[in-house]
Structure 1
Amino acid sequence: MDIEGFWELVERSARETDNRRARVAWLEDQLSGLTAEEIVDYDAWFTLCANRACSWDMYAVFWTITGFGSSDGFEYFVNWLISLGREAFEKVADCPDRILELPEAQRIMELMKNFSHRRTTWSRDGKFRLKRVTYTRREVWPREDDPEFESFAYVTFEPYKRATGLETDSLGEAVRAQGVHSKFPFLTPLAEPDGEEWNFGDEAEFVRRLPRLARHYGLT
């Protein structure tokens, strides 16, 4: 499977279904009809796409939009970006500051209007300081709109087990045998985000790196 085949499956899964659970099931069904080698290829392409989006600037975008920071949460956010399809992903993968051009991100901003802004605080996470915006929720929005999609990364697991009789650890080994190594979980000795680490609490640096997002949040 080449990159075109990977994106075709990702995008068809959105067209053929109307919710995330059905989308995962559709992909599992499609992948179950492929060879073990093709399933490994799909997983390798998914990993390579996720790696492209694993950067300090994208982490800053994730933190700012969601209001929290965690290694797992960032990974699920990147899964969500991939699920939006090739055009949306390509738009932000190398330029995270374009996030607000995505209709799905604009939808999140609309939903945020149902929140009450309370305060902005600073916290330290590891070696850097992060800006936290705290909100009080007035109503719950549909989970389908959340900017995270954990299970989207797991669609190869059962198809691979059925195709090979092996456990999913073997799938990871097969992907790495192709020379593809995941950057997640990030902030580990073997997996660092791309780019230069920077202090997210430095407003001047935030404006320099993410000027559009900074404008949206009133920093300029």
Structure 2
Amino acid sequence: MDVDEFWQLVRRARDAAGSAADRAVEAGVPESTAEALVAELTRLPLPEIVAFDRVLGRVCERADTWDLCAARWIIEYGFLSDDGFAEFRAGLVGLGRDAFERAVADPDSLAAHPAVRGVSDGAGRDRWIGDERLLFAAARAYEQVTGDADAFWAAVASAGDEPPTRTGRPAGERWDLRDRAEWRRRPPNLDALFAFGRHDQASTRQPPRSGRHDAG
């Protein structure tokens, strides 16, 4: 499976999800794009399901940057973790190829996306971009086809692949996520969008000082 075939599957899933494809993920509400993607994947031969997961990992790696770490920090309540950032990058994939490419080139472009605006507008509601179900869509599809919860991971190991949750050191210039002046300079539109409400709550939290996502 090449990257164009990968994105075609994502597009079909988004088409099946309809208007829900551009909404924020919300607690208690099924992630329509992820569910549609699982359905698409179950129609593929098993090796192609594994291949989809392989390409997902490579695509998500392109979004492993400090500036997108900052975008996630601002959008999703001021928390950073390896698992959470992996889910965030998968969520960016779920927004479609055009939105993903714009976010990689300019993370501040996310401020214009309706899903991100939905997070901003959802005061008091648990909304986010990160999508765990999409991150593990291939594993879920493989299990649905085989009836074996472990078969997918055995196939991934046999192929010598890395799961899409694999993380390295984020690319790009590292900067202090606690510095509000940097927020205003680097992602000014995101900073303005989340300037009130949960953004301010997040700014009072201390980012982790150990691990790959420490802030400075």
Q: Same fold (TM over 0.5)?
A: yes
The runs of 5 or more residues in structure 1 that have no matched partner are: 113-136
Matches of 2:159 and 2:108 in 1, distance apart?
30
> Following superposition of structure 1 onto structure 2, how do residues 1-220 of structure 1 map, counting pairs within 5 Å?
1-17=1-17, 20-21=30-31, 23-71=33-81, 72-112=83-123, 137=124, 140=125, 146-160=128-142, 162=145, 167-173=151-157, 176-177=160-161, 181=162, 184=165, 186=167, 191-216=168-193, 217=195
Structure 1 residue 170 displacement after superposition:
2.6
Matches of 2:56 and 2:164 in 1, distance apart?
12
Give the match's secondary structure for 1:74: helix
Matches of 2:57 and 2:100 in 1, distance apart?
14
Q: Match for 1:58: what amino acid?
A: L
Matches of 1:183 and 1:24 in 2, distance apart?
15
Matches of 1:5 and 1:196 in 2, distance apart?
32
Indicate the structure (1 or 2) with the bigger Cα radius of gyration.
Answer: 1
Equivalent pair of 2:76/2:128 in contact (CA under 8 Å): no
| Cα-to-partner distance string for 1:134-181 (whole Å, 9 max, x where unaligned) | xxx3xx4xx6x532211111121144354697623234335645xxx4
| Cα-to-partner distance string for 1:65-117 (whole Å, 9 max, x where unaligned) | 121313222222222111111111111023212110212212222223xxxxx
What root-mean-square deviation, in Å, do the aligned CA atoms of Structure 1 and Structure 2 show?
A: 2.9
Equivalent pair of 2:57/2:163 in contact (CA under 8 Å): yes
Q: Aligned residues: percent identity?
A: 27
TM-score, L = length of structure 2? 0.70
Between structures 1 and 2, the one with greater strand share: 1
- Give the direction of change, closer, same or farther, for the CA distance of 1:211–1:200 in structure 2 (3 Å limit): same
Equivalent pair of 1:43/1:175 in contact (CA under 8 Å): no
